[in-house]
């Protein structure tokens, strides 16, 4: 690894031979912004491949962004190339249809001949392996504020070609106070947990609210695509089994949580194709997968990706973890959402989705109205359970009429 100036890296980027090179970049809150902006200013036409690009993502003619998970930085980008697929399968693209020419990462400072990807492992190990096989470039933005995490996050310094040094705190998600509905949903979801359960949490208020209600549990495990402040608080409350390693693929939290993660021997970062592998998920005892959605219909199909026909986020890890949890001994796949959307003044439980399906066949649907079990139910009983136990009272009559027309109100 050679530590150089931005100017030197700019020269190397400007000399890239492909007509339209592809640059794989750390996403979420690990984005190496200095390198990203340098590429945008240096290369006339190229492709970014990134997960969850954040606000401020460069957009101009000549920059094409590819992503399996859309973030705030590209939601209104008409040139966005959204890749609708399970995250567990995305790393295969680097060796097939979307080979990388450059990988840009943000890492920790070197320790014992290695640097760590810190809060974002995800797709990066696969991308680094493939770009090195192809003779491409690995460029690091070394930041002393990046926590050193173990497992697949660790990279030997010889696998990095060029690096710049930076001293800048990592960003964190903005905090939103929990409203009454979120608190009730959190309590409902937490009631489905048991001592010894293994947890997976998606991004959002509702999974965090559920974690806040599990501090009384003991011997919990963690096998999750993401780890947030809620897991740190569970650990400090003594709810996490000290004999079980917490597994994650990216971290999404506060500066306090990043400090907790730094050199934490009980937290291991795994690459996406391991952490999101449904077979590996199914091996976890009592897997409790907790995810959210924008809408769910009476066939229990969820939409977590589209708003008014336009891509909003993506499949993410939800289909991987729903499948894995349902195959776990004692596992459950929980879908948590508010029953009513105040801004549109409409029910989030609808007769039939009009947007693409993200996942389906969960164990239960949870709202602030209650818990609607659906696993093993006939489609008629499934619809009735959702209407009676999860739908908002204002929507129940309309949903019942729709269910009748859809032949979903007969008996078992």
* Active site (catalytic) residues: 225
Burial class of residue 119, CB neighbours in 10 A (0-12, 13-18, 19+): buried
Euclidean distance between CA atoms 96 and 130, whole angstroms: 10
In terms of DSSP H, where are the helices of 106-220?
A: 124-133, 180-190, 205-212
Q: Using an 8 Å Cβ cutoff, are 311 and 78 in contact?
A: no
Q: Using an 8 Å Cβ cutoff, are 300 and 360 in contact?
A: yes
Q: Using an 8 Å Cβ cutoff, are 349 and 219 in contact?
A: no
Euclidean distance between CA atoms 360 and 378, whole angstroms: 14
- Segments of 52-153 assigned E as strands: 63-67, 81-82, 102-107, 114-116, 137-143, 150-151
Q: Using an 8 Å Cβ cutoff, are 200 and 286 in contact?
A: no
Euclidean distance between CA atoms 210 and 207, whole angstroms: 5
Euclidean distance between CA atoms 306 and 121, whole angstroms: 26
3-state secondary structure of 235: helix
Q: How many whole angstroms from its chain centre is CA 401?
A: 36
Ramachandran region of residue 314, left (φ > 0), alpha (ψ -120 to 50) or beta?
Answer: left
Q: Using an 8 Å Cβ cutoff, are 223 and 287 in contact?
A: yes
Euclidean distance between CA atoms 225 and 271, whole angstroms: 9
Work out the end-to-end distance of the chain between its first and last CA atoms, rounded to an integer number of angstroms.
66
């Amino acid at each position: 690894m050679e530590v150089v100036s931005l100017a030197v890296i700019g020269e190397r980027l400007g000399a890239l031979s492909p007509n339209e090179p592809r640059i794989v970049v750390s996403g979420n809150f690990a984005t190496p912004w200095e390198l990203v902006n340098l590429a945008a200013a240096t290369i006339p036409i190229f492709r970014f491949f990134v997960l969850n690009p954040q606000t401020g993502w460069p957009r101009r003619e000549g920059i094409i962004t590819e992503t399996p998970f859309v973030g705030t930085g590209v939601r209104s980008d008409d040139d966005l190339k959204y890749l609708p697929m399970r995250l567990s399968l995305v790393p295969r693209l680097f060796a097939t249809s979307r080979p990388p020419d450059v990988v840009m990462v943000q890492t920790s400072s070197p320790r014992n001949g290695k640097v760590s990807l810190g809060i974002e492992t995800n797709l990066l190990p696969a991308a680094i392996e493939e770009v090195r096989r192809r003779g491409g470039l690995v460029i690091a933005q070394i930041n002393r504020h990046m926590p050193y995490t173990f497992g697949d996050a660790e990279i030997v310094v010889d696998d990095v070609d060029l690096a710049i040094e930076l001293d800048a705190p990592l960003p964190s998600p903005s905090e939103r106070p929990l409203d009454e509905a979120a608190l009730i949903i959190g309590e409902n979801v937490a009631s489905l947990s048991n001592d010894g359960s293994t947890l997976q949490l998606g991004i959002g208020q509702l999974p965090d609210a559920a974690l806040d209600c599990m501090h009384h549990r003991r011997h919990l495990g963690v096998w999750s695509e993401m780890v947030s402040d809620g897991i740190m608080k569970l650990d400090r409350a003594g709810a996490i089994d000290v004999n079980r390693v917490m597994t994650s693929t990216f971290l999404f939290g506060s500066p306090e949580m990043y400090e907790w993660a730094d050199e934490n021997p009980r937290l291991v970062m795994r690459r996406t194709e391991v952490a999101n592998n449904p077979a590996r998920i199914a091996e976890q005892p009592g897997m409790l997968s907790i995810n959210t959605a924008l809408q769910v219909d009476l066939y229990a199909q969820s939409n977590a990706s589209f708003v008014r026909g336009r891509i909003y986020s993506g499949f993410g890890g939800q289909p991987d973890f729903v499948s894995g949890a349902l195959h776990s001994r004692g596992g459950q796949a929980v879908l948590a959402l508010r029953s009513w959307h105040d801004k549109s003044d409409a029910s989030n439980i609808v007769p039939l989705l009009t947007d693409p399906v993200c996942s389906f066949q969960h164990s239960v649907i949870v709202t602030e109205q209650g818990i609607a079990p659906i696993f093993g139910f006939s489609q008629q009983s499934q619809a009735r359970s959702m209407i009676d136990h999860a739908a908002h009272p204002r929507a129940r009559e309309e949903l019942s009429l729709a269910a009748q027309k859809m032949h979903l109100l007969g008996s078992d």
